[in-house]
Amino acid sequence: MYHKVSEQYEWGLTTTTPRQFKAQMLALQHLGFSFSRIEDYSPDLNQVLITFDDGYSCIKEYAAPILEEVGGVATVFAITDYVGQKNSWDYFPEDKQITHMSWSELRELHDKGWEIGSHGKSHRRLINMSSKNVHDELATSKKRIEDEMGSEVTTFCPPFNAWNSDLLSQIEYVGYTRVAISYPLTGLPKWSGEFIPRLGVYLHDVMPLFLAKIMTNPLSPIEVLQQQMINMAGDGKILESWLKPQ
Ligand SMILES: [Zn+2]
């Protein structure tokens, strides 16, 4: 699970540099993995699923050419209200805000074989929200991406990795068959759909840490803690909550 692949430094730590990303993709290729979309994943093949949350422009600029070099495709989770817009949903000083891919950029990736999944309409936490609003986030984003791409959207990625069994029922009701979530996985409920568990890769993941991350099962306690903290923080959001006390 990646967010941004860029040279631009930001304090949320969810950026990987293009150089790091290239080394990581080459390492995966060297280890014999092939790169699949979530939709085409087969547990019998030695596949790795690369995903990008939020759909930033830097993914098309830096990550897509690198994946092309290794013959790989990936999945992007787009936030439909913010396609082509700055990431004002997250807390960043205005001059540090970055842009999400436009519909035509997403289509270009889709035409190369990438999967475009949904990350909702507005990147809001969907638990503790009225079921009408949740339905709107799930259904409107699905339909919009389907209309723009001309193919079915089957995977939903809950913003901030915030999900519970009520949300899963709604995700299923709207017609998604898969949900992309993050480690650590504690007590997965019964669900008719498929869970796609993901490991976040971050700026401080130098090569030995990256390899340990992908080759170690179960995760080390430090890795579990790191994944929990980054899920909780969600980029600038934790700063926003300090800066704007309720
Ligand atoms: Zn996100």
List the domains of the chain with CATH numbers. 4-243 (3.20.20.370)
**pLDDT of 217:** 65
pLDDT in tens, 140-175: 999 999 999 999 999 999 999 999 999 999 999 999
Percent of the chain residues past pLDDT 70, beyond the cut: 85
Which residues lie closer than 8 Å to 171 by C-beta, 6 or more apart?
A: 138, 156, 158, 179, 193
Q: What letter would DSSP give residue 171? A: H
Cα–Cα distance, 127 to 108 (Å, whole number): 33
Q: Percent of the chain at pLDDT above 90?
A: 64
The string of pLDDT tens digits covering residues 180-218 is 998 877 778 889 999 998 999 988 888 988 988 887 766
Provide the pLDDT for residue 111: 97
Ligand 1 centroid distance, CA of 159 (Å): 5
pLDDT at 223 over 80: no
Report which DSSP code applies to 154: -
pLDDT in tens, 57-104: 999 999 999 999 999 999 999 999 999 998 887 766 667 788 999 999
Which pTM was predicted? 0.88
Q: Which of 155, 170, 173 is nearest to 117 (CA)?
A: 155
Q: Tell me how far CA of residue 189 lies from CA of 5, 48, 166, 167, 185, in angstroms.
A: 33, 24, 10, 11, 10
Q: If you measure from the C-alpha of residue 160 to the centroid of ligand 1, how many angstroms do you get, rounded to a whole number?
A: 6
Ligand 1 centroid, distance to 234 Cα (angstroms) = 7
